[in-house]
Structures are given as C-alpha cells and as structure tokens.
Structure 1
Amino acid sequence: MKKSQIAAQLYTLRDFAKTAEDLDASLKKVKEIGYQAVQVSGIGPIDPEAVREMCQRYGLTICATHVSYDRLLNDIDAVIKEHQAWNCRYVGIGSMPSEFRSGLTGYQDMARTLSGIGAKLSEAGLELIYHNHKFEFEKFEGKPGLGWLLDSTDAAHVGFELDTYWVQAGGADPVKWVRKVEGRMKVVHLKDMAIVNDKQVFAEIGEGNMDWPAVIEACRETGVEWYVVEQDTCPGDPFESLAISYRALSNWAN
C-alpha cells in the first residue's frame, strides 16, 4: 500500500457535502490531511461536472463511488457517462435492497441482477463492486449470504468492496474474507471496531481492536488497489477522524 492509494470515503463527510460550496471546502480539507483520492458517496445533488472540476482543482482522484440500486437499474447510461467523465472505473452499490434479503432465493435473484448490471458496466470499461454490511453473514443452507453472492455472481462482471468493520460485526474474519475474494476486490473499505460500554462502535484506524498489519498484508497480497477510509459515525469532528485514520495507515504505507 502506498500513500497515494489511501482514499477518503465522502459518506463520512455527508453532513459537510450537501452543497457545492460545502463540498469544495470539504475536499480542500481532505487534501490538506494528506489524502490523494476520494470515493464519491453521500454528497448532495451536485452537478457531476462541478464534482469533477473540484476534485481536479485539489488533485484528488475519484477512485470509486456508491450509486443507488435504482440508478443502476433505471439510469445506467447516465451513471456510465458520469464515471467515464470522472475517469473512475469502480461503480459501487452500497447495500442490498431490502426486498432481496428475505432468504436464499433473494440472494440468488440479487446475484443475477448484479451480474446483468455488471455486464453492462463492463462493456463501458467499468466494474461493479458490491459493498457489504453485517446482514450478509446470516447463513442459508450452511453458507453466509455473502458467500452465495460470491459464488453466484459472474466473476467477470461483479467485484466486491469488503467493509472490514461489517465483516467483523457479522462474526467473520476480515483477513480470511479479504483472501476469499482474491481476484475480485480492487477497493476495500477500512474502518476499525472498538468496544465501548460493552457495545461495538465505529473507530478510527488503529483506535479499535482489529489486526491491521494482517488486514493490510492480505490486501497487498490479493491485489487491492484502493484503501478507502470510511467511518459511519464519528465521536467528534469527522475531519479529525479521517486525519487520525490517515496518519495510522501512513505508518503501514510503503
């Protein structure tokens, strides 16, 4: 992992990215922290061209996104156009719609749908990546839902964006899952887990209990390209949380 591969997930800053003016100020702060890339997710209704211009102004690569399931189904041509303009290969779906979560049949239906969307994106030189939460670790016929998605989606058209916190929250081992999706994960979500008052909470990298040297090594060995810092909720200033995580990850950078 190089410092240039560490990115900030803008969902972390969603309350500071609702308008173009706010986003501009936030991107400036992200660059000042040291980040050289961002994942576009959770921002307000801002013109894609304006987003491109802001990121160019601050020298920030748009490494990946999260796009709504509805847009992937019904507005895919515009999604493709945006990503090509941003020079962004990785099109993320942030979560599985609730209607697919009811059982094994739902996961199989989701796999077919993802494979179809992914094929369209592949034709345009893009790649669909699926981001997990903890519910995907519920087991069906002895295998977790995420395992069914891994085995049932078309490997040529569907990749994964494992979230280390949610893997651990689901009772699984992030290191083992990084290795399990080898060859199908170029973008990973990094967030730490701490225990506070006997509850699992989101934490900055290095402030929780995850084995980061092992996680980073597994990502290196399996060909991850982008190491994206995300923190769903922060104890204070989210910019400071991003800074703490960046400094910690920099210690493991080449």
Structure 2
Amino acid sequence: MSDERLSRRAMFRTAAGAAAAVGLAGALGGTAHATATWGPPTRRVPRQMISIQLYTLRNLLQADLEGTLEALADIGYRTVELAGTYGRSATEFRAILDRYHLSATSAHVSFDGADVNRLIEDARILGYRKAACAWANFPTADDWRAFAGRLDEAAAAFHKAGIAYGYHNHAHEYALVDGVRPIDVIAEHTDPRTVHFEYDLYWVVAGGADPVEEYHRRFGRVLQFHVKDRASDGSFADLGTGTIDFPDLFRRTWAGPMKQYIVEHDAPTDALNTAKVGYEYLANLRF
C-alpha cells in the first residue's frame, strides 16, 4: 500500500470515530422515539442486509478504487450495490471485491437499449442476485406503459437466470401523468412474480407519498430499500441527521420479504464519513 493511501486511511479512521458518535446519537434518538410510541424496541436491521450504493462514493472510487473499497470493508460493510465497474471488466471488478471480502449483492443496470444477455453474464461473474433499473422518465402514460412492457420482458430473462430485476424510483413516478402515477403503471403492467421494487425512501417522501402506505400497496414486491435521509430543507442528509423517522418506517414495514437496507447519499461532502455514519446508524438502530 502506498504512503498516500496509508495517510488517507489514517485520516479516515480519525474522522470515523467522530462519525460513529454522530451515527450512534442518531440511532439512540430514533430508538427513544420508538420506545415512547411503541414500547421497548427489540428489532434490528440484520448486519448482513446492510449495504451501500457505490454511487455515493463515485468520485473516490474513480480516484482510488481499491483504497475506497478497502475503507468500506474497514467500516464493516460486507455487501455493496454496484453502479458501474469504473473501467474494469466484470472479472477484474469481482477480483477486487473478493480481495477486500466484499460481495456485490445487487446492482443498478439499465436494460433499455442494452444487451440483456450480456448484463446477465456480467451479473453471474460479479455474483449479484438482484438488479434494478435506476432511472426512467417519460412524458405520457402510453410511454410509461410501453416502458413497463419492456421492463417486464427484461425481468423475465433475468428471472430465468436466477436474478431478480426490478425498478428503482425517484420522485417523478409519484406525480400524475395523464391522470395516472407512473409507479402504478409500472406495477400494473409488469408481472409481480418477476418485477420487484427498490424503494428509494428519500424520493418516495420527496414525491409526496407515504413510504409505509406504498410498501403495503405493493406488499411482497419491495425487496430493497435505499435508506437515504432528508434534511428539513429538502436536501440530502446523512442517516440519522434528517427528518425521516426510520425506526417507525422499518417497524411498520418489517412484515414481508427480507429486504436489503442500502445506504445512499446523492451528494455527500465527505463520502467516507457518510458511509461510516450510515453503517453505524443502521447497525445500532433498534425499532
């Protein structure tokens, strides 16, 4: 390891101690709320289900892929969600993940206009069993219906390969387009046995919807959460420092399939600190 990487990691570990305190404070604050409302909190997020969307650390990964992944492993992460492989082949990226004892359990991959068979081949190499379309936006309901049809076909191919393929929301899917919500169009025009949802909790809230209500509206189809906090001014926030009541949300969505709880922040000022705060918050949370 180079002196530069050793120095960077040493500084990270110093900052991490303070970050852990922030994360723990947030967790305890949420737990106190849960205790007052529902009684003693007993549940916790299983550590093996805590992941992080690597998009959060995209700038660091571009500059120092191995050092950043090693730092995530030092924090405690054992699983990650991919958003590209930073110029490496699937085989090369898998080798780097293995080196730091990390597993890719899910990925954002766009199917529209892509070679789905190649995506499936890469998924097998990288090892993930869940994937999601990260973005779509269309001006008409008919366009959304057509998209849902394409999504359904792609998901069927992934399903045959043993990979769950779904859809990751932003806020605009909850706004009416030609009198319907695109999120409902997707749900109603895809097979619930093969197309799941990855709910980005920040964007559900930003879209004016109730994440708990939306979870139960699509009960059984939500297999992943992007756990992203929202500041009082509507901006992104590190976990436990914003306005989303995660203890209450997790408690009320506990029933159903086991979910991945994926830390994400779209625009962190210190991505490794954000990753540390997020991991500690989820690992220490009781609800």
Deviations 1:11-37 (A, max 9, x none): 001112226xx2211110111111110
Segments of 5+ residues of structure 1 without an aligned counterpart are: none
Q: How far did residue 42 of structure 1 move?
A: 4.5
Work out the CA distance in 2 between the residues paired with 1:4 and 1:122. Answer: 23
Deviations 1:107-147 (A, max 9, x none): 11111110011111111111111001011011146542111
For structure 1, which segment, 139-148 or 181-190, has the greater mean C-alpha deviation from structure 2 after superposition? 139-148
Larger Rg: 2
Higher strand share: 1
Question: Matched residues, percent identical?
Answer: 30
Residues 33-182 of structure 1 aligned to structure 2 (within 5 Å) = 33-70=75-112, 73-96=113-136, 98=137, 101-140=138-177, 142-182=179-219
The one-letter code of the counterpart of 1:78 is: R
Segments of 5+ residues of structure 2 without an aligned counterpart are: 1-44
RMSD: 1.7
1:13 maps to which residue? Answer: 57
Deviations 1:164-223 (A, max 9, x none): 00000001111222222221122211100002xxx3100111110011012222443122
Work out the CA distance in 2 between the residues paired with 1:87 and 1:74. Answer: 19
Q: How far did residue 227 of structure 1 move?
A: 0.7
Work out the CA distance in 1 between the residues paired with 2:266 and 2:148. Answer: 26
1:241 maps to which residue? Answer: 274
**Count of residues in Structure 1 that have an aligned counterpart in Structure 2:** 243
Q: How far did residue 241 of structure 1 move?
A: 0.7
From 212, 216, 229, the counterpart of 1:192: 229
Work out the CA distance in 2 between the residues paired with 1:12 and 1:77. Answer: 27
TM-score by length of 2: 0.80
Work out the CA distance in 1 between the residues paired with 2:250 and 2:217. Answer: 15
From 214, 225, 229, the counterpart of 2:263: 229
SS of match in other structure, 1:176:
helix
Q: How far did residue 253 of structure 1 move?
A: 6.0
RCO higher in 1 or 2 (8 Å CA, sep ≥ 6)? 2
The one-letter code of the counterpart of 1:80 is: I
